[in-house]
Structures are given as C-alpha cells and as structure tokens.
Amino acid sequence: MPQDPHPVGAGVRLIRDRLADGRELLYFDDAGSGLPPQRRRDERRLDARPATNTMRRDPLSGDWITVAAARQGRAFLPPAELDPLAPQTPSNPSEIPDRYDVAVFENRSPSFGPGLGDPERPLGGVGLDAPGWGREAEAVGRCEVVCFAPERTGSLGTLGAARARTVIEALAHRTAELSALPGVEQVFPFENRGEEIGVTLHHPHGQIYAYPYVTPHTAALLRQIEAFGPGLFDTVLREERRGERVLIAGEHFTAYVPHATHWPYEVHVTAHRNVPDLAATSPAEREELSRLVPRLIRALDALFDEPLPYIAAWHQAPVTAGRDEVRLQLRFTSPRRSAQRLKFTAGSEAAMGAWVGDVVPEAAAAALREALGRADAAWTEPPAARDAGSPRDASDRRGGAQA
C-alpha cells in the first residue's frame, strides 16, 4: 500500500473509502481504538452528484457569492432514529456505512465543488479581483463534514482529550490535503453549534470549506498586516498576555477575550509562534490544543449552565499568501448576551458592518474565568481508549445537547 503523503500523528489510524456516489470517506480511528481496520461498504443507491455551482461577483463589494440552490434540500432537524451522521443501520441509511471514532466525508450538497480548478487557468479566465459587471465562475473546491463521534449526544468538550486529539489530527490532515488540491486558495475548518446559529443536525460535527479564493475576512487581515508591518500577531499576543482578559496561558497557545469583540462572548486562541495553519503545527502543539479546546468549550457551557450556541472558527493562512505573517487562531463567537437574550446582527452590523458591543470584554473575561473554574472542578476525564462497538452515553455530561 502506498504511503499517505500526509501522515496522521499521535497513533491515529487513517482508513480511506468511498461512498456509493463516489464521494470520499475517511475514517480517523483513535489511538488504541477497538475498531477493526476493515469497514462495511456503502451499498445505498444514490443519485449522481450535483453539478459544480456557479459563483457570481458583486461589482460593488468585490465579493464572490456562490449560488447553491441544491442546499435547499439538505436534512433539517431529522429525528434521532434518522440521524444522517450516525453509523448506518437497517432502518437508518445514513452517510457513514460503519462504526467509527471520527469520520470525514464530502458533503452531498456542497457550496464548493465537486469540481476542482485548472491550475493553468484562473477562475473565469481572468484574475479574481478584476472588476466588471456580470462576472461568473465555477465554484470549485471542496466541502467536507467532520463527525466528532458516532453518538448523537455529547460535544467536543465532553468526549475527552483522546478524542479531541483525533479530531485535531483529522483537521490537520484535511488542511494539508485540501490545500494541495488544484484551485484551492484557503482552507477553513469550523463548527456551528446550536439552533440559534442555524444548526440543522443534532450530532457533534464540524465542517471544512476549501475555497477557490481568499475569503473577505482574511483579505482584510492581509491589508491590516500590510499597513502595520511585520509582527502584528506578535504585538497583539504580547499585549493581550499582559492584560486582564487572559483565560488560559499555555506553553504553545493563549486563550483570551480580545480587546475589541464583535460578539457578546468571544474567545481567541492564538499560537505563540508564527504557524500558518493546523497542518504546520507540531505534535506538542496539537497535544496542547486537544486539552485546551475542550476546557474552553466546557467553560462556555458553564457560563449559563447550558450548551452555549457558538461558531468555532479555525482562522488559517491562505495556501500561498501571507504565510509568514498570518498566524493560526481558533475563534469562538457566541450571539448569546445573557441567559435569556441573543444578539441579532440587524441594521448596523448586517448592513454597514459597524459593530456595537453588548458586553464589556473585561466583564466577559471575568465571567468566563469563573465559569472555567467551575467547569474544571466538575470535569472527570473519560477513559482514553474504548471499544467503539459499545458507545458510551454522553448525555449525562453537561454541555452535550447539540452541535
């Protein structure tokens, strides 16, 4: 068997497979997993994959908008017995044919892909930033789903450091492999959690988008780096670590509430060195993330004593641009501003991009530190290895209602 060009670390085993319609499926087995290396094949009869979507360029903003009408038909809050992310059973023809620890597969209704770019020809035949009316291009790239566990209950905060390490290794592997696909300019792993965010599946999972362009957020960051000069992230991290908003100061990462927050509760996890993406992290950095990230999630859930809706966004450098200056960050943002109230991005934020804060960042940091202490005191780490044929019940752990 040929060696995988992007090996997986920490004893995690990678098994490659295909779904019935040709989509790629990857199993990432925990170190010490009781799962066998052979997996059942997907025997479903599926329709052919949809054609690659079209992107249209807004001439006023320069934004590329993908028109993905097929996504209107995707699963919407299905009952537990028809969970599309659980292992298949005779009564549930789900997306994953067999038992798993962590599974990654291509989205059936992707915003980008399944077509890939032509490295010899830019999208639309001209540069992406070229102005003009009526510009269109294929929305090439890849969209993947990342299942954190076979159980429908639980969260990345409750599955334990061993499983979190498998997830981190999977995200690093996918970042490396997707970055090498033709036409891909940026890779973005993320998790949406909670119906308030718009989640349509109650199963702990995330997604990965491989874009054919540098996203507007990252393009704005590159402009700030150009204006500031070298060392923007060093300066931000140094000043944040001196202040009162630090939540966790690790050896390789620091978690803090930033000086200027867009959302009521917002936490940034920033690497201490200029590492551009998860694929470039060291084993020690991944090990620290596998413990730090679940701690933060448990603290977020302890804030109001229930699972906090959030977006967990891995901000990474583009495939080619800014890799010496754009530093890996994980950002948690939540619209919840109190136990009973949400922040809605209405007129000023949505229309003008002019944000107004609802919670003083220092107060948010103090509340999160207190929640972190309570969550740490209540937490018991589950066993590192288990027989995946007998899934544990995660429903008794606070914070595991939905993802």
**142: β partners:** 210
Q: Which of 264, 313, 299, 300 is nearest to 377 (CA)?
A: 299
- Which structure tokens are listed for 205? 């999972």
Please tell me the distance from the alpha carbon of residue 256 to that of residue 244, in angstroms, as a whole number.
9
Q: Which of 385, 146, 362 is nearest to 256 (CA)?
A: 362
Count of other CB atoms within 10 angstroms of residue 316: 26
Please tell me the distance from the alpha carbon of residue 116 to that of residue 6, in angstroms, as a whole number.
20
Q: Please check whether residue 298 is in contact with residue 368, taking contact to mean a CB–CB distance below 8 angstroms.
A: no
Residue 56 CA, distance from chain mean position: 25
Q: Which of 202, 205, 268, 272 is catalytic?
A: 205
Please identify which residue in the block is written with the tokens 């592997």: 173
Q: Which residues are within 8 A (CB) of 24 and not within 5 positions of it... i.e. 6 or more apart? A: 16, 17, 18, 105, 106
Encode 116-133: b = buried (16+ Cβ within 10 Å), e = exposed: bbeeeeebbeeebeeeee
DSSP class of 104:
E
Can you state the angle between helices 216-228 and 232-242, rounded to 10 degrees?
90
Q: Is 205 a catalytic residue?
A: yes
Q: Which residues are within 8 A (CB) of 93 and not within 5 positions of it... i.e. 6 or more apart? A: 44
- Cα-only R_g, the chain: 21
Q: Which of 355, 64, 343, 330 is nearest to 197 (CA)?
A: 343
> What is the spatial order of strands in the sheet that 54-57 belongs to?
64-67, 54-57, 136-138
Q: Please check whether residue 104 is in contact with residue 25, taking contact to mean a CB–CB distance below 8 angstroms.
A: yes
Q: What is the CA angle 299-337-242, rounded to 5?
A: 55
Q: Which of 224, 229, 233 is nearest to 273 (CA)?
A: 233
Residues labelled catalytic:
205
